[in-house]
Amino acid sequence: MRSVVLADVIHRSLIYAGYKVTFVRNYTDVGHLTSDGDHGEDKMEKGAKRENKTPAEIAQKYIDIYEQDVALLHVIPPTHTVWATKHIQEMIDMVEVLLKKGFAYQTDLAIYFDISKKLDYTKLSGQKLDELLSGTGHGDVVDSEKKNPGDFALWFFKTGKHEHALQTWENSFSKTEGFPGWHIECSAMSKKYLGETFDIHMGGIEHIPIHHTNEIAQSESASGKSFVNYWIHNEHLLVNDHKMSKSEGTSYVLQDILDKDFSALDLRYFFLQAHYRSKQNFTWDALEASKQARHSLSSKIASYEDGGDINTEFKKLFQNAIESDFAIPEALSVLFAMLSSNISDTDKRATALDFDLVLGLGFDTYVNERVRALVQNELPQNIQELLTQRIDARARKNWPLSDSIRDTLADEGYEIKDSELGQELYKK
């Protein structure tokens, strides 16, 4: 979730800066083995066996959960959402080109990319090519016909360790069906939707030595052109200063956050406080602090009237921050400085909503939910708190609590109605 939020902020920042953005998100529903290399079982098939489903069913189940989660996090949809299994022919076509050009070779088990043919193979990772060729520091070689231990699979045949593969396709390489390697999928799909050369490729830093290095090698060898202009890699999220761990109960999903009475936007606000190239440490106390800070910030903006103008001086400072390697923590500092300045409240509101085009914290949504009150005077603090509690209750579908708060507000002299705009409050 951190990775997708940070990618969303970059996406939003480019749009804010005036660029027309084509954004592609791909789903690897075949070919990614339990290792990031060529070892282990297909992750989809492993999950399918665990849950007694087909690979297609297991992919659909978790893609649906993922898309629901990212929507709650206010991640704007990509231009294209692409599935690996729907682009098999494009992958076969690219492998054929690599074979024809002499960058790939075939064994009984698979088709491999020959890393010795790509002299700048390690230009992204900085690894030593001679060590990869000789096998120093490399995993066990499971195919005796491989020329180099570091050669990676472009296509697996349904034979040997993969003879029980559930997802396989006819191909032009052999009478034996097979399936693509993980790396060729991304190269083939990005070529189709973004061209042979495109501007920005994102992902976690763990992909630098294997996945992204292999993408560069096969894409550039096939096209003869530079693959990507800018690589943007995000750092890891830690939990209690350690790597997330299922065995220690710290491998959280978004539902765990919601179950503890936090909203997805509390988590988004937490993520915005660290630069994408910095590690970030998650604790429940830190998330609680983010929740309080976000509610305070949103409440302040919600209290301002419409009708103001965007302050150009603060907008320039905000732009400078996001244009400096997407420095979102600095952009947040500009927001706080603006809200503490002596410009008019209406201008503060207009400027904050402009900044929220990048931040994605839903300030305007918060206004709709909390301040569609036909009461001109400022709402008492206890009434504001009750409104906030009811919003959270409804987000969690806790209807009894929502109704209870409605009754409490009625006792305080306020009538509340729910509309498409959110909560509307009327003074009795």
| All structural domains of the chain | 2-234 (3.40.50.620)
- What whole-number distance in Å separates Cα of residue 241 and Cα of residue 122? 31
Give the pLDDT band of residue 21 (cuts 50, 70, 90).
Answer: very high
What whole-number distance in Å separates Cα of residue 424 and Cα of residue 289?
28
User: Is residue 37 very low, low, confident or very high in pLDDT (cuts 50, 70, 90)?
Assistant: low
Helix segments in 303-362, DSSP class H: 312-323, 328-339, 345-359
Q: What's the pLDDT band for 374 if we cut at 50, 70, 90? A: very low
- Asked if residues 26 and 368 have their Cβ atoms less than 8 Å apart, the reply is no
H and E: helices and strands count for the chain: 16, 14
pLDDT 10s digits, 127-151 = 888 888 876 444 445 788 999 988 9
What Å distances lie between residue 261 and 62, 76, 284, CA to CA?
23, 24, 11
Mean pLDDT of 142-165: 87
In this predicted structure, the answer to whether residue 171 has a pLDDT above a threshold of 90 is yes
Residue 57, pLDDT score: 86
Task: Give 116's contacts (C-beta < 8 A, 6+ positions apart).
Answer: 133, 147, 148
CA separation for the pair 226, 124 (Å, rounded): 13
